[in-house]
Chain A
Amino acid sequence: MKKYLIRRLLQLIPVLFIITFVVFVLVYLAGDPVSLMLPEDASEEDREALREALGLNEPFLYQYFHFLGDLISGDFGTSFRYSQEALPLVLERLPATFELAAASMLVAIVLAIPLGIFSARKRNSFVDLFITGGSVLGKAMPNFWLGIMLILMLAVNYQIFPVSGRGTFVHLVLPAITLGTGVAAEMTRLIRSSMLEILHQDYIRTAKSKGVSDTLVIFKHAFRNSLIPVVTITSLQISHLVSGALITETVFSWPGLGQLLVQAVNGRDMAVVQAAVFVIAILVIVINLITDLVYRLLDPRINYS
């Protein structure tokens, strides 16, 4: 177990290396940041002095390792827009994003598990058709459009929920539904198909032959097994959640990391873009590591060698 963890952590090194490299190359290619940082009428000497101070005249690889050194010490540079250190700026947005992500996952799980199981049990029935149809529709509908439509119906036409912002529980409802249903659509499909496969397994027949009730067969014997493939695919769900969060936060003016990142990209605020991308990337990696461990807990057949 310990060995496995260490190996997994070591495997992250090339991943982090590639991310930092790609980001650095892109920023390098973007060209001279000096023109953005100084007033238009600055003299050529001033520019040159700033370049020298920023280390922009050094060779490419030297600059890259310098950049890596800064990253490790948490120095991503200063935001043009907020005139603040980029990293704290990013970190202070995290709670809002966590809140939204947690609420959305809750919505997704509450929707997907019962729907997936139900539609597998009533396979090919009208209800199954309705649920699978709904999940395909959920996949086809862009997240942000669903959000806009929810605002149109529930915040504008019937003023049940606020249009945007964060604060009370009611603020959370529409964003969480928007983001959650997208994830739920994929999850429902997965749970349904893995349930269908598992219900035909020999050990389900064994459980029935022991006299286990149908409900227990489903929720104890089948469900636990069906979670294994569902957890495996979680990394894909995480990608979905991240891109969904960017958009949902923007649609609902939710003051999270996603909104900050989109604004930074729009404003070419590179320090913030880099800091946000790294923080998100590391979060995703950590979440993937955790799901991997959960997967191993769920499936005793896997050993850590």
Chain B
Amino acid sequence: MEVNIKTNSLADANNCIAKSKQSSLWRWPKLLLQSKTGTVGFLIVFVVVFVAVFADSLAPHNPAANNLGDMLKPPAWLDGGTSAYLLGTDNLGRDILSRIILGTRVSLLVGIFSVVVAGIIGILIGILAGYYGGLIDNILMRIVDSFLAIPSILFILVVLAVFEPSIMVLIIVIGFTNWVTYARVVRGEVLSIKEREFVKASKSIGTRNGIIMLKHIFPNIISSFIVISTLSVATTIILEASLSFLGLGIQPPEISWGGMLTDGRNYLATNWWLVTFPGIAITVTVLGIIFLGDWLRDVLDPRTQGRK
């Protein structure tokens, strides 16, 4: 624990952060087990991340390999299904389970990294607007309001009409349209934090603005960032799946859950498993993230406590 003592007040602030860091290590598992949905959410997210990381070794088949001999095999427990293809095969004889396993990667990549992009822009702008106030704040917040006035899907569609969609484009475009939420929340937090004693004390001894923002303000907005970003990963995963389903997102041969649903839709009348399992994968993943996010909010955000 490195505490850099400058003044009492500063030391207090640092101590506060350090202390919560130290005790939280042991607090977390305990707190998690107290909440059933939190635990379920954590387990789901853990499994999904694990699957995404080790997708290549976990997939029983090559997810891209066409096997025209085994076209449209039903799931293993139905008549005509084989244990080789647990969740059946699609119209090109590709193993659905393997494709779902590989699909976790795209979902998580887009979900997590677009939130990172949005978070970086949003936090930066939010801190600047909140800390300096005045004209900067006014201009930045007008821009934020303008973005909020329009559903972000419209911006995303215009971009996707112009640029060839890819994982990278999706991450950037979703990130660039979602930063406003962060900017607004962060600005609000900064406005209240900058009135706190430890910031004032730090200012009074002449600490540079940049240092104050980095050392005192940034650590204090992390918890609200974690809360919004977790839930935002969930909505982004749905957004990516929707876009891919519409043919505007991840393009074949890249494997995505939304894309699997597009392929499967043509076989709706005869082969239900093509559309059912990828949808379940999305729903369960998103559900897990929402549970985890709700739990994090209850734990990290004192304002929501007792309001459940």
Contacts and interface: CB of A to CB of B under 8 A. Distances in A.
Given A18-B143, A142-B241, A148-B275, A273 B286 contact: no
Given A137-B283, A288-B149, A152 B275 contact: yes
Contacts of A137: 283, 287
A281 B154 contact: yes
B41 to A, nearest CB: 10
A121 to B, nearest CB: 16
A6 B261 CA distance: 47
Contacts of A262: 157, 246, 248
B242 A19 contact: no
Nearest to B152: A239
A156 B268 contact: yes
Contact of B276 (A14, A149, A284): A149
Interface in B142-174: 142-143, 145-155, 157-163
A285 B286 contact: no
Contact of A243 (B142, B151, B269): B151
Contacts of A140: 234, 238, 283-284, 286-287, 290
Nearest to B284: A140
Contacts of A90: none
Interface residues of B, number: 46
Interface in A236-282: 238-239, 242-243, 246-247, 250, 261-262, 264-266, 268, 270, 273-274, 277, 280-281
Contacts of A148: 261, 265, 268, 275, 279
Given A140-B234, A140-B287, A141-B283, A268 B153 contact: no
Contacts of A143: 238, 242
A149 B284 CA distance: 15
B48 interface: no
A15 B248 contact: no
Contacts of A142: 238, 241-242, 245, 258, 279, 282-283, 286
Label chain B's interface by main secondary structure: helix
In which size bucket is the chain A interface?
35 or more
A262 to B, nearest CB: 5
A197 interface: yes
Label chain A's interface by main secondary structure: helix
A27 B287 CA distance: 37
A103 B160 CA distance: 29
Interface string B244-256: 0111100000000
B50 interface: no
Contacts of B132: none
Contact of A139 (B145, B146, B290): B290
Given A243-B151, A243-B242, A281-B150, A156 B269 contact: yes
Interface string B133-147: 000000000110111
A26 B162 CA distance: 7
B140 to A, nearest CB: 12
B272 interface: yes
A215 to B, nearest CB: 25
Nearest to A28: B162
A144 B160 contact: no
B303 interface: no
A49 interface: no
B146 A14 contact: yes
Contacts of B142: 14
A29 interface: yes
A136 interface: yes
A197 B307 CA distance: 8
A15 B242 contact: no
Contacts of A284: 149-151
B248 A266 contact: yes
A22 B287 CA distance: 34
A15 B145 contact: yes
Nearest to A148: B275
Contacts of B162: 26-27, 29-30, 270
Interface string A3-23: 000000001101101110011
B248 A265 contact: yes
A136 B149 contact: no
A247 B151 contact: no
A254 to B, nearest CB: 14
A141 B272 CA distance: 17
A145 B275 contact: yes
Interface of B: 142-143, 145-155, 157-163, 234, 238-239, 241-242, 245-248, 258, 261, 265, 268-269, 272, 275-276, 279, 282-284, 286-287, 290-291, 307
Given A145-B275, A152-B275, 20 more contacts: A12-B149, A15-B145, A26-B159, A29-B162, A30-B162, A137-B283, A140-B234, A144-B242, A152-B268, A152-B272, A152-B276, A239-B153, A242-B154, A243-B153, A243-B239, A246-B153, A262-B157, A277-B154, A284-B150, A284-B151
Interface of A: 11-12, 14-15, 17-19, 22-23, 26-27, 29-30, 136-137, 139-145, 148-149, 151-152, 156, 193, 196-197, 235, 238-239, 242-243, 246-247, 250, 261-262, 264-266, 268, 270, 273-274, 277, 280-281, 284-285, 288
CB-CB nearest 6 A-B residue pairs: A145-B279, A239-B151, A30-B162, A140-B287, A243-B153, A140-B286
